[in-house]
Amino acid sequence: MTKDAVENVVIVGSGPAAWTAALYAARARLSPLVVEGAPSREMIPGGQLMFTTEVENYPGFPDGVTGQLLMERMKAQAVRFDTRVLTDDIVTVETSGRPFVLRTAGGDELRSRSVVIATGARANWLGLEHEQRLAQSGGGVSACAVCDGALPAFREKVLAVVGGGDSAMEEATYLTKFARKVVIIHRRDEFRASTIMTEKALQDPKIDVAWNTVVTDVLGDDFITGLRLQDTISGEERELEVGGLFLAIGHTPNTAFLRNTVELDEDGYIVTARSWRTETSVPGIFAAGDVMDPYYRQAVTAAGTGCMAALEAERWLAHGGAAARAEASPAASTS
């Protein structure tokens, strides 16, 4: 990169959506620059899959693959086609003029004719020490039942789901396919979930509910063995033996740096201008992956929208977007 370079496309993020967008953009000879993010306590380059030990539902890996290896291979494939990578965070995106101006936490200023936002969403956790330790080590704590619930480690076990919304009901119902019993732990005496989802869960003979209850500790050394629970009314504590814990208390999209830039919904997810398209409220800025998808939140769907965003960016540039694409490619040095 040089100081005065104008990129054709800057891709912000480093999960399946970002690397797929980079792959497609690179093969279209757009010489993409990926700003993959800097490691922090909450997120690391590669996104949520970096905390997933085994991925069994990504096509092309019949024996499964670790989340870390999957992201490593996606990145390597994009880099093979001359994708350039910057390890930093984007803190602001200026859209008042063209090209767009993106500023990094490290003080760099990037200018680009188009932008793909693929910063993902982070799962909400309880914030307990052992919860985080076991989640990051593959010790039976997860924030995605659809991703992990079918793993052999959870078969015929008593599994716990924390939450009270539709997501919690969906996760609990899904887990009944594999678990001996599922216990929904909810801090109130009624669910926030829709009536139909609540009824479906409560009528399932394999689902029990621990009302007015919170988790105060997660037990187990290498793998979860139980939970310490507290009654929110009486304060009484007890232990519950479980073989897995699934958090279903929502996700937070990584869009704080986009406030007053593109349209966001009430939960902070990017709103796309048209269904089945990735362009945002600002022409030339596209969104892919969990940052614009609060419903599916799967690696394969994120990768699909990354492909879509790259194709849309390529077509937008080819049809004169941002005063048309420059003949000369941006600097080809790798950072």
| Positions marked catalytic | 144, 147-148
Helix (H) or strand (E) holding 35: strand 33-35
Helix axes 16-27, 299-318, angle to 10 degrees: 30
- Name the residue among 197, 183, 200 with its Cα closest to residue 243: 183
Q: Are 264 and 177 in contact (CB under 8 A)?
A: no
CA dihedral 37, 43, 49, 54 (to 10 degrees): 140
C-alpha 174/C-alpha 321 separation (Å) is: 44
Residue 194: half-sphere exposure toward Cβ, Cα within 13 Å: 5
Tokens representing 25 are 């953009």
Q: Are 250 and 168 in contact (CB under 8 A)?
A: no
C-alpha 48/C-alpha 45 separation (Å) is: 9
